[in-house]
A and B are shown apart, each in its own frame.
Chain A
Amino acid sequence: MNLTQELELFPDHTVTQMLFKEVKNAAELRQSAVDGRINGALINPTMLVNPFQVLVAANKAVHLQLIGKMKTRSLNSEIIFNLSPTNNISEAFKRFGTSDGDESVMLVVVHCKNESQLLEDIAAQVDGRQVPVEDDFEKSYSISLEETCGTLLDAVVCRMAIKDVM
């Protein structure tokens, strides 16, 4: 069900992605995230193209945290910010973070290797049905001609990686 990947550059950090549908408590979850009571990033899955996108965002977030150069206040909010192609933080949260009426939620947790209990506890806070994470998310990204010179995913990921110097 969960999709897990260890970050090669940061061996103590593993990223787990959990996708939920028919979510009934999105507003409550969003509030918990704002209050810092939920130890994961709540993302709007309709904005995602592929799980790799999340990994790239998480990798960058962990890197910036370790060198003390995050642009937002927490690792989880940094992951959400990194998903956005722009440098505007509030816009990033609005577009990529979970909103009150959302019916599906992508929960991303960065943790140490074998923390199944932690993941279960966090997942339990979501009132919805967990489904397997697959490669065919709804595409809601605006990319220009880049699509022709590679996949949409490559275009998205490339933008994410370079935006801070554009």
Chain B
Amino acid sequence: MTPDHLVALLCPPLHNPRRRRGGNMAPEKSATVPQFLRGAELVKQGAEARVYRTQFLGRPTIVKERFSKRYRHVALDEKLTRRRTVQEVRSILRCRRAGIPAPAVYFVDYTSHCIFLEEILRSSTVRDHIASTQQSASCTVQELDRDQDRELVQEQELEQLAQQVGQILAKMHDEDVIHGDLTTSNMLLRRSPEDRGSDLVLIDFGLSYISALPEDKGVDLYVLEKAFLSTHPHTEALFQKLLKSYSASSKKSSAVLKKLDEVRLRGRKRSMVG
């Protein structure tokens, strides 16, 4: 995939040839969304975007607003930001079409680079789930047997979770969607209403793109591995279970896992002995 900044240089800005058939010739940018967001609750501020919570058309909605980077050249910034928004939205739809849970998109404003998404209610991040499961598994002053039982149950629960994650990632990669920012904070566990267990929902497709290359998929998994192991200590075995589940669920997994091994050997501070 051509790096973003090169794309902007290779494709000189053309005068917009699109015919304006509709309505009035109003100014290009709509100021209504930023204004609306002033009344919304800011949930998170990242390097690329701000995330808000609000009500939209009667539904709880998340609004993701990509802001401009002043240090960039204006035309390049506009192109880049728009491209990222489009990629994000395309990846979400592509996932959903394949049955991979991701938030529904309600509205996209390409002038202010805002995406209005379904808010996933009754959910917690996989990160929080693993952390709290591990915390309650640590021994307190109680009978040894009970603790061992509890640990076993929690271990099984985490293994099942790892299996679910492996399956869902396999499905996603089989659709040639690269998430780009796989971390346990970007996976939600949604409790079903009748409490029939929970299902996984992937979020934050901000760095995602379409690619069939095993290399890209391998890197995607590598990013998750680094994030996983650094966030959750002593989970090497759990991650292996995840990879096993991935391998069993994906038709193209062997090439991807091979690339993963290669990518692991690259990294920083790696020996250059071939």
Contact = CB atoms under 8 A, between A and B. Distances in A.
Given A63-B109, A154-B104, A55 B22 contact: no
A151 B109 CA distance: 24
Contacts, number: 117
Q: Which bracket fits the contact residues of A?
A: 35 or more
Nearest to A77: B22
A101 interface: no
Interface residues of B, number: 43
Nearest to A54: B57
A124 interface: no
Interface string B111-142: 10000101000000000000000000000000
Contact of B107 (A5, A63, A65): A63
Given A59-B107, A63-B30, A162 B22 contact: no
A146 B96 contact: yes
Interface stretch (A23-31, A39-47, A66-74): A66-74
B69 interface: no
Contacts of A59: 57, 107
Contact of A71 (B21, B93, B118): B21
A79 to B, nearest CB: 12
B27 A67 contact: yes
Contacts of A74: 22-23
B67 to A, nearest CB: 18
A155 B24 contact: no
Contacts of A78: 22
A166 B90 contact: yes
B60 interface: no
B7 interface: no
Interface in A31-64: 52, 55-56, 59-60, 63-64
Contacts of B32: 9-10, 63, 66
Nearest to A78: B22
B90 A158 contact: no
A5 B57 contact: yes
B102 interface: yes
Interface string A146-162: 10111000110111011
Interface of A: 5, 7-10, 52, 55-56, 59-60, 63-75, 78, 144-146, 148-150, 154-155, 157-159, 161-162, 165-166
13 contacts: A5-B58, A7-B57, A9-B36, A9-B56, A64-B22, A66-B32, A68-B23, A146-B97, A149-B99, A150-B101, A158-B92, A165-B86, A166-B90
Given A52-B58, A67-B30, 9 more contacts: A7-B57, A9-B56, A67-B29, A68-B22, A68-B25, A68-B28, A149-B101, A150-B101, A158-B105
